[in-house]
Amino acid sequence: MNERLDYTKISPGGVKAFGSVYGYIMQSGLDEVLLDLVYLRVSQINGCAYCLDMHTGDLIKKGVKVEKLSLVQVWQEVGNLFSDRERAALAWAETVTRVAQTGVPDVEFEAASHIFDEKELADLTMAISLMNAYNRLAISFRRTPEAVLAAKY
Amino acid sequence: MEQRFDITQLIPEGYKAMYAVHTYVQGTGLDLGLLELVRLRVSQANGCGFCVAMHIPLARKYGLTEHQINLVATWKESPVFSARERAALAWADAVTALAGQEVPDTVYEQVKAEFNPEEIAKLTLCIGEINTWNRLMIASRTPPAL
């Protein structure tokens, strides 16, 4: 699975522009662990190796236990291991990511609105939408995960 | 169909940052008509009414014909697109759908035959950008400006 092209070198201006959106979200007030869990789940759905590697690493650095991380994909089946806010964010992340199939139905919106206020939900939606763009860039060009580089294959 | 929330009001700084991505894509040197063709197609695939309503008049403004605009949804079977446009549409479809969690080599070969690496990177930034807007507008149920 060789990298097709390095868009970060070819188009640094575009990467920087998306980076400003990322920077905005980081200072939006949303909890960083919550955001990284969302980024991880979106990247799982889309199948982004580079992003899974990055956000798993970030979550470990932030103190999330590997026992919890390994169950992000099946968060609905593990009781209260994930908090109410985490569960609501993950559900919203799933429906917004799979937009072509779901159309983001009212029932999902109502559930998310029950937990998050309007601004939080707008920020969360921006974060999910941004990660969908990042995933598409990395998947399209088969960006090499850091773990692969570190293993020096 | 009531609007759920308004990102321009709630998070103007976030909206501004996203708009800067749009400004970047507009300035890449890629043909603006081609960019609109891609945005229209991706918005159809994701089901964004706001975005389809916005990008049809823009496609017209940047030189797409009525036949082309009407047939974007069925581009594979429509003889009104150039090889370059077809390659861009195939790439936009594959990058948006991520079927099987990948963008297949066959589609990459098709886009490589029509675009240089720099153009492919910029085209993909455009596809990423419109995927972001589609999700924002659908999730917030922003109504088309008609």
Inter-chain contact A136–B128, Cβ cutoff 8 Å? yes
**pTM for the model:** 0.97
Closest-CA distance, A14 to chain B, in angstroms, reads 6
Q: Over the stretch B93-141, which tens digit does the pLDDT of each residue have?
A: 999 999 999 999 999 999 999 999 999 999 999 999 999 999 999 999 9
CATH code for the domain of A102? 1.20.1290.10
Which of B19, B25, B28, B125 is the best mutation test for A, with the most CBs of A within 10 A? Answer: B125
Q: Which amino acid is at A55?
A: H
Residue ranges with strand state E in A4-134: none
In a domain, B143, yes or no: no
Q: Residues 97 to 126 of B: which have CB under 8 A from any A CB?
A: 97-98, 100-103, 108, 117-118, 120-122, 124-125
In a domain, B27, yes or no: yes
In a domain, A105, yes or no: yes
> Helices in B27-146 by DSSP H: which ranges?
32-46, 49-61, 66-71, 83-97, 105-112, 117-139
CATH code for the domain of B32? 1.20.1290.10
Q: Over the stretch B27-53, which tens digit does the pLDDT of each residue have?
A: 999 999 999 999 999 999 999 999 999
Coil, strand, or helix at residue A54? helix
In a domain, B145, yes or no: no
In a domain, B65, yes or no: yes
Q: If you count residue pairs, one on A and one on B, with CB atoms under 8 Å apart, how many are there?
A: 138
Inter-chain contact B21–A137, Cβ cutoff 8 Å? no
**CA A131 to centroid of chain Cα atoms:** 5
Give the domain extent around A74: 12-151
In a domain, A17, yes or no: yes
Residues sharing a CB contact under 8 Å with residue A129, sequence separation 6 or more, in sequence order: A96, B131, B132, B133, B135, B136, B139
Q: CA-nearest residue of chain B to A123?
A: B11
The kind and range of the H/E element at A7 are helix A7-10
CA distance A112 to A106: 10
Q: Residues 2 to 61 of B: which have CB under 8 A from any A CB?
A: 4-5, 7, 10-11, 13-14, 17-18, 20-21, 23-25, 28, 45-47
Which of B8, B9, B11 is the best mutation test for A, with the most CBs of A within 10 A? Answer: B11
Sign of CA dihedral B80, B96, A13, A123: positive
What is the band of B145 on the pLDDT scale with cuts at 50, 70, 90?
Answer: confident
Coil, strand, or helix at residue B37? helix
In a domain, A66, yes or no: yes
In a domain, B144, yes or no: no
Per the structure, the count of domains in chain A is 1
Per the structure, the count of domains in chain B is 1
Give the domain extent around B35: 7-138
In a domain, A37, yes or no: yes
Q: CA-nearest residue of chain A to B100?
A: A47
In a domain, A62, yes or no: yes
Q: Over the stretch A110-119, which tens digit does the pLDDT of each residue have?
A: 999 999 999 9
Average pLDDT, stretch A72-93?
97
pLDDT confidence of residue A56: 97
Cα–Cα separations (whole angstroms), residue B44 to A64, A81, B116: 39, 38, 26
CA distance A148 to A129: 27
In a domain, A5, yes or no: no
In a domain, B146, yes or no: no
